[in-house]
A and B are shown apart, each in its own frame.
Chain A
Amino acid sequence: MTENRTIYLDGVYTAYEGANVPTLRNISLEVREGEYVLVGGPNGAGKTTLLESIMGMLKITHGSASVCGLDVRKEGLQVRRKVGYVIQNFAFDPLTPYTAEQVVMMGRYGIMGCLKRPCKADFRAADQAMHLVGIEDLAAKPIGILSGGQQQKVLIAQNLAKEPSLLLLDEPFSNLDIAAREFITGILENIAGKGISIMMVSHAFDDLPDRDIRVLVMNDGNITYDAVSHPGDVEARVKSASGVV
Chain B
Amino acid sequence: MLECIIPNNIVCHAVEAMLFASIACSVLGVIITQIKISSIGFTMAHAAFAGAALGLFLNIGSTSMAILCSIVVAMLIGPLSQKAKMSVDTTLGVLFGISMALAIFFIAYMQYLGRGFNANVLLFGDVISLYREEVYSLAIISLVAVVFVALFYKEITTIIFDRKIAVSSGINVTPIYYATLFIIALTVALSLNIIGGLLLYVWLVTPAAIVYQFCYNVRDMFMLAPVVAALISVSGALYSLEVSLPVGPFTAVLFSIVFALAVIISPKRKISRSKI
* A-to-B contact residues, CB < 8 Å: 17-18, 55, 57, 77-78, 80-82, 85, 87, 90, 92, 95-99, 102-103, 106-107, 109-112, 114-115, 117-118, 142, 155, 158, 162
Contacts and interface: CB of A to CB of B under 8 A. Distances in A.
B256 interface: no
B151 A103 contact: no
B216 interface: yes
Given A80-B167, A99-B217, 13 more contacts: A57-B167, A57-B168, A96-B161, A97-B34, A97-B216, A97-B220, A98-B157, A98-B161, A102-B218, A103-B161, A115-B152, A117-B154, A155-B165
B27 interface: no
B215 A114 contact: no
A21 B82 CA distance: 18
A223 B165 CA distance: 27
A111 B171 CA distance: 8
Interface of B: 34, 82, 85, 151-152, 154-155, 157-158, 161-162, 164-172, 212, 215-218, 220-221, 268
Task: Please name the 5 residue pairs, one residue from A and one from B, whose CB atoms are nearest each other, closest first.
Answer: A110-B170, A81-B170, A80-B170, A110-B169, A85-B168
B155 A109 contact: yes
Contact of A114 (B155, B166, B168): B155
A112 B34 CA distance: 24
Contacts of B215: 97
Nearest to B161: A98
Contacts of B157: 98, 102, 106
A162 B85 CA distance: 33
Contacts of A162: 169
Given A99-B216, A114-B152, A109 B161 contact: no
B168 A80 contact: yes
A115 B151 contact: yes
A157 to B, nearest CB: 13
Nearest to A112: B154
Contact of B217 (A17, A97, A107, A118): A97
A72 B34 CA distance: 31
Contacts of B152: 114-115
B170 A77 contact: yes
B49 to A, nearest CB: 32
Nearest to B168: A85
A109 B216 contact: no
Nearest to A81: B170
A114 to B, nearest CB: 7
Residue among A96, A107, A109 with most chain B CB within 10 A: A109
B172 A77 contact: yes
Given A97-B216, A98-B217, A109-B169, A17 B162 contact: no
A152 to B, nearest CB: 13
Contact of A97 (B164, B165, B218): B218
Nearest to A161: B169
A51 to B, nearest CB: 10
B168 A55 contact: yes
A73 B170 CA distance: 14
Contacts of B218: 97-98, 102
Contact of B169 (A18, A90, A95, A107): A107
A106 B169 contact: yes
Contacts of A114: 152, 155, 172
